[in-house]
Structure formats: C-alpha cells, structure tokens
A and B are shown apart, each in its own frame.
Chain A
C-alpha cells in the first residue's frame, strides 16, 4: 500500500538449525549471519537440501532456531504472524474457499465491514489480473492462476516481509516469465522485503537486488552478489556482467561429480 522503506528489516544473528533424526542430530543450517534490508529483494540459491528452505521457515516462524536469534525490526520472531507473508511452491490455497474467499481469509482479522473486505479482496485479485475468476475454486484454476491468487492473498494483508519458497518451481517456462513481471509489479507497488528461495540461477539474477549463494549441506552463505542492473532485466541487454555472474554461480553450484558417483 504505502512506501515504508524503514520497516521489514530482518536480522539473522548467528542462527544454527539442527534437527533430530534417527541417525542423531543433523545440522540443516550452519551458523548464519545475514541482514535483509527493508524493501530489498534477496534471492537465495543453493543445491537441494542445503537448508535454504529451513532458513526461510525460521524467518516465517515455523521453525525455532537451535542457536542464535532472528528478529524483525528489532523484535524477536517467535512464531508465524501476518507481518511475514509466505508464498508456497504448492500454493496452499484453501480448496473450500473461492479465489475471493481465499483472499478474504487474511482480511478477516482486520475487523472490516463485509463490503469493505470484499472490495479490498477484489482489488487485490484485480491487481494480479484475476478479477474475472474471483468466484472460481482453486481446483478450477491453472497453476499460474493459483499462484497469483496466493500472491494476492499474501499482499492484501500488507506483510513487511515476503518469503517465497520456490514459488514458480511447478510452473512451465512461459508462465514463469509472466509471473516474474507480475511479481515485480506487485512488489514495486507494495515494497515488502522479499526473500526468494530458488534453484534457478536465471530467475535469481533477473529478479533480485541481492543474490546469495549457499553451500551444500550443512548450508552456509558462501557468496553474495549485489545487482544494480535496472529492471526489467534480460540477459540479452544487461551486458556481460549478469552472464559472468551466472557462469560463476553455476560453477559454485555444480555438484561434486565424485559425490554423485557414489
């Protein structure tokens, strides 16, 4: 809604996350220190199982770190809240509600009148180009449309931080590209701090201000790129810089052939 560049600062202080497994304790995320500045768009990239989703779940308040401290604008994160919105790869829309009903879900807590609630939800669906499908149920929508409903549902409550866990991973290439520009449009309007988990290097480079690369498990941050290229970006007109970074990241991510063989 409004530009509030000073809220949505996520601070990750020496966070370590371990899980108990049958084989004993497993470190999912190695000691990590990171700050997400208000209104920035960070892409987190790394090999499967490197702990990038674990870090995201911790910021969302779904997982409690074993060590260290997570805070949003100085307040410790103790559990999920509507300050931190989450977009899931599998959409997580409620199939018993229509598209409009799903968007209204998050508005319920605001104590709006019914008319205003519906107006706001419709406006949010309009923003993602789905006003014509407001009364359809999720199972009647395509994957791309479902994710657009999810984006509308999350942005409508005005989160300070938006976490996206491989949100477009299940979509085809064509739909992905249109989702990228849609996301950019919505984000530039609402200006939340975004953490975008992906394993698609191109997606990371086209969308993010900061690209952070993680190591193999147990994951930790191994490289940081700050991208200043204007948006919308394309590899064809961004000069050699993006392509060089792309090669470098691909090199970092290239799995160890010896490990694969075993």
Chain B
C-alpha cells in the first residue's frame, strides 16, 4: 500500500533538537551547517551588505586565527571556562542540596519555596549591577551571577523531582525494612535523579548565558569582555568568531553532560 510513497525513512525528530548529538554519529546536521555556510558565502560574495556590518566567512576565519595567535583567544577561553565551571559547581551543588531539603523537609519548604519562586523570574543580567557593587568587576561578581542562576534552576528541578517520587517506591522500601537514611540515599535520590539531571543540563546552558551577561558589562577579560571590546572597534568579524565559538562550546558541553546523564540515569532510557 505504500508503493507510491517515495519518502525515505526520516531521522527521529530529536535529531533536529540536538544537533550535536547527531553530529557525533556523523549525521545530517553537517548538511545543515554546510547549507548555512553556503548561503553566508554567497551573500558575502554578492556584497549585499558592507563587510564591516556583516563579515564574510573568510574574514571571520582570519579574525579567529588572529585572536588565537595574539594570545587573547586562549586566555579568554581559559578565563571564561574557569568562571563558568566554578560558578556552575557552586550553584549546582547548592541547588541539589537545597532541592533535596525543600523536597523532603516541610519546614524548609515552607520557609524558602515562595521566596525562591519569586527570585526565579528575575533575569540573570538584572543581577549584574548588584553583583558589581557587591563583588567589584573581578572574579567574584562572575562567580556570583553564574552560581546564582545555576542554583535556582538546579534547585527548582531537584525540588520538582523530589515531589514526583512514586509513593509505591517509598512503601516498598519501608515494608522491606529500609531505614530513613537508606530510603533517602538508595530510593528517593535515584527516583528523583532524572529530574535532577534535567536541571543540571539546563544549568550548564544557563551558566554560559549568565557568564556572558556578566562579562559584557564589567570585566577585563573573557569571551564576553572580548565581544564588548570588539564592539568598540566595530570588529564584527571578531564578534562573529566569538559567537560561533560560544555556540560550539555550549553545544559540546551540553552534549557531554547529556551523555553523562544517560550513563548515570540509564534506567530512564529503557523502554
């Protein structure tokens, strides 16, 4: 009955949502990148837009080489990744810890949840001025903004996961004689783990987002600072280079975290 159909088997929809995970298996996304690069090349060759406004692929490439050779790029990468990592580590561990507490301890939940939920809609960038007043333009303000943003997301997801621990797991654990502590460690935490990991993955993405926000205003190094600096000299080629690197960086880290999550919460993948 499908004789007339010429459609080929289509890749699962998830491929389009997670381009880099498919790229790793040598998939269709390469075609997408090549396609966009092709259009970009054509637009540049036709000189529809001035080079200073919309740089060509090759000038972006040369700007990258230039920044790499004069040492700013390796240094900015190191500085930014370090800030993101430290901020993320602080925020994620606090988030998981407090999420476990608000998830299980009624008094902590009553005291903190309404307040934390009020904080969640405040965008990270709005915190930058406060962070600068409190911590100056050094590392402190970056750690603060990143860890704060990561913390709220990880806390929220962890808390949420704790709410959805199936009651029968707890009943089963108790009727098998598990102590409160063992029930917590070997039943409640694993049951909430898929949510906790979803929060951590979101947290990683937000760590980059909030870091760049913090570096754009009030920093003397880092990828965000370099973007701002490029604006002052109207170096769109450098901006594009930095933006692409941010994209690749974010997607790679996301992919790695996703794979680690799949390994750690392996039971969620099973049918």
Seen from chain A, the residues whose Cβ lies within 8 Å of a Cβ on chain B are 60-62, 79-82, 84-86, 88, 90, 92-96, 105-106, 108-109, 137, 139-140, 153-154, 157
What A residues does B179 contact at CB under 8 A? 109
What A residues does B171 contact at CB under 8 A? 60, 62, 80, 86, 88, 92
Q: SS class of chain A's interface: helix, strand, loop or mixed? A: loop
Selected contact of B172 from candidates A79, A88, A96, CB within 8 Å:
A88
Closest B residue to A60 using CB positions: B175
In the assembled complex, the Cα of A31 lies from the Cα of B140 at a distance in Å of 66
Q: List 29 A-B contacts (CB under 8 A).
A: A60-B175, A61-B174, A79-B174, A80-B174, A81-B174, A81-B175, A84-B175, A85-B175, A88-B171, A88-B172, A93-B172, A94-B169, A94-B186, A94-B187, A94-B190, A96-B193, A96-B265, A105-B173, A105-B186, A106-B176, A106-B178, A108-B178, A108-B182, A109-B177, A109-B179, A137-B266, A137-B267, A139-B267, A139-B270
Seen from chain B, the residues whose Cβ lies within 8 Å of a Cβ on chain A are 166, 168-169, 171-179, 182, 186-187, 190, 193, 265-267, 270-271
CB distance from B35 to the nearest CB of A (A): 39
Selected contact of B177 from candidates A106, A137, A140, CB within 8 Å:
A106
Closest A residue to B166 using CB positions: A92
* 4 A-B pairs closest in CB distance: A82-B177, A80-B174, A139-B270, A106-B176
Closest B residue to A159 using CB positions: B175
CB distance from B249 to the nearest CB of A (A): 32
What B residues does A79 contact at CB under 8 A? 174
CB distance from B152 to the nearest CB of A (A): 27
What A residues does B187 contact at CB under 8 A? 94
Q: Say yes or no: B176 contacts A96, CB within 8 Å.
A: no
What B residues does A137 contact at CB under 8 A? 266-267, 270
Q: Say yes or no: A88 contacts B177, CB within 8 Å.
A: no
Q: Say yes or no: A92 contacts B168, CB within 8 Å.
A: yes
In the assembled complex, the Cα of A153 lies from the Cα of B169 at a distance in Å of 13
What B residues does A105 contact at CB under 8 A? 173, 176, 178, 186
In the assembled complex, the Cα of A60 lies from the Cα of B177 at a distance in Å of 12
In the assembled complex, the Cα of A150 lies from the Cα of B166 at a distance in Å of 17
CB distance from B116 to the nearest CB of A (A): 28
Closest B residue to A153 using CB positions: B176
CB distance from B109 to the nearest CB of A (A): 22
Closest B residue to A95 using CB positions: B267
Closest A residue to B167 using CB positions: A62
In the assembled complex, the Cα of A10 lies from the Cα of B144 at a distance in Å of 59
Closest B residue to A109 using CB positions: B177
Closest B residue to A138 using CB positions: B267
CB distance from A180 to the nearest CB of B (A): 22
Q: Say yes or no: A81 contacts B270, CB within 8 Å.
A: no
Excluding A85-B175, A109-B182, A153-B176, 17 further A-B contacts by CB distance (< 8 Å) are: A82-B175, A86-B171, A92-B168, A93-B172, A94-B172, A94-B190, A105-B173, A105-B176, A105-B178, A105-B186, A108-B182, A109-B179, A137-B270, A139-B270, A139-B271, A154-B176, A157-B177
In the assembled complex, the Cα of A94 lies from the Cα of B177 at a distance in Å of 15
Selected contact of B175 from candidates A86, A96, A139, CB within 8 Å:
A86
In the assembled complex, the Cα of A190 lies from the Cα of B28 at a distance in Å of 59
In the assembled complex, the Cα of A95 lies from the Cα of B187 at a distance in Å of 10
In the assembled complex, the Cα of A82 lies from the Cα of B175 at a distance in Å of 5
In the assembled complex, the Cα of A86 lies from the Cα of B266 at a distance in Å of 27
In the assembled complex, the Cα of A90 lies from the Cα of B271 at a distance in Å of 16
Quick one: which of B168, B176, B190, B267 has the most chain A CB within 10 A?
A: B176
What A residues does B182 contact at CB under 8 A? 108-109
